[in-house]
Structure 1
């Protein structure tokens, strides 16, 4: 089931890039990011109330709060940079560079989460890196 959600995530991420590139025309990238974030905020809280999971807030540990907040800050920084890059660059070049996050995530997961870094992971990282270079140059 995780694969289906991951695949849907990639489809929606692709749509995000194309829709954002069209929508950002003539709009300040920071303002565009704020509008997008507002929509995501309403949608996310809508899902919380729709699934009646809002009561779980009180059970969140301090550690989880800290890391969720840090994750939110990282997301915000990512989105601000992404929208600025989309505004001044071609989507077909910005998106592959953005997807280097896959390589960075694998390395960070190995270092901090102690997830295995296999030969298959290494080959995938190299191929993604080469693919990014081919698409950008």
Structure 2
């Protein structure tokens, strides 16, 4: 089931890139992100409430709060950087570079989460990064 959700996330991310690029043509990238962030906040808390998970907030451990807060700050920075890159570049070139995060995710998962990483995963991640670079430097 995780593969289905991962594919849905990938498709959603592609739609977000396309719509965001269209939306920031005549708007500052930070302002565009702020507008989207308000909607993200409303939708995400609505899902929590509808699923009945709101009482779980009080049961979250302090260490988990720290991880989630830091991840939230980094998510904001990532989105701000992505929006700025989209403002300055073509979506078809920016998106592959931002998705080079795959390689960094593999490295961080191995170092900090102690996940086992096979040579196939490393090779696949390197090939994806190489592909992203080729796409990004291609002249139109």
Using structure 2 for the length normalisation, give the TM-score: 0.96
SS in 2 for 1:35: helix
Specify every segment of 5 or more residues in structure 2 that has no aligned partner in the other structure, as ranges.
none
Counterpart of 2:100 in structure 1 is: 100
Specify every segment of 5 or more residues in structure 1 that has no aligned partner in the other structure, as ranges.
none
Report the CA distance between 1:122 and its aligned residue. Answer: 1.3
The CA distance in 2 between the partners of 1:126 and 1:5, in whole Å, is 24
The CA distance in 2 between the partners of 1:47 and 1:108, in whole Å, is 29
Counterpart of 2:119 in structure 1 is: 119
The CA distance in 1 between the partners of 2:83 and 2:51, in whole Å, is 31
The CA distance in 2 between the partners of 1:28 and 1:50, in whole Å, is 34
Runs of 4 or more, structure 1, over 2 Å off, are: none
Deviations 1:22-57 (A, max 9, x none): 011110111001001111000000101111110001
SS in 2 for 1:70: helix
Corresponding residue pairs, total: 137
Report the CA distance between 1:130 and its aligned residue. Answer: 1.2
Q: 2:27 aligned with 1:27, yes or no? A: yes
Deviations 1:75-103 (A, max 9, x none): 00000000000001000110000001111
The CA distance in 2 between the partners of 1:22 and 1:10, in whole Å, is 19
User: Considering only aligned residues, what root-mean-square deviation do their CA atoms show, in Å?
Assistant: 0.6
Report the CA distance between 1:129 and its aligned residue. Answer: 1.6
Counterpart of 1:42 in structure 2 is: 42
Report the CA distance between 1:136 and its aligned residue. Answer: 1.0
SS in 2 for 1:30: helix
SS in 1 for 2:25: coil
Report the CA distance between 1:133 and its aligned residue. Answer: 1.5
Report the CA distance between 1:123 and its aligned residue. Answer: 1.0
Deviations 1:49-73 (A, max 9, x none): 1111100011000000000000000
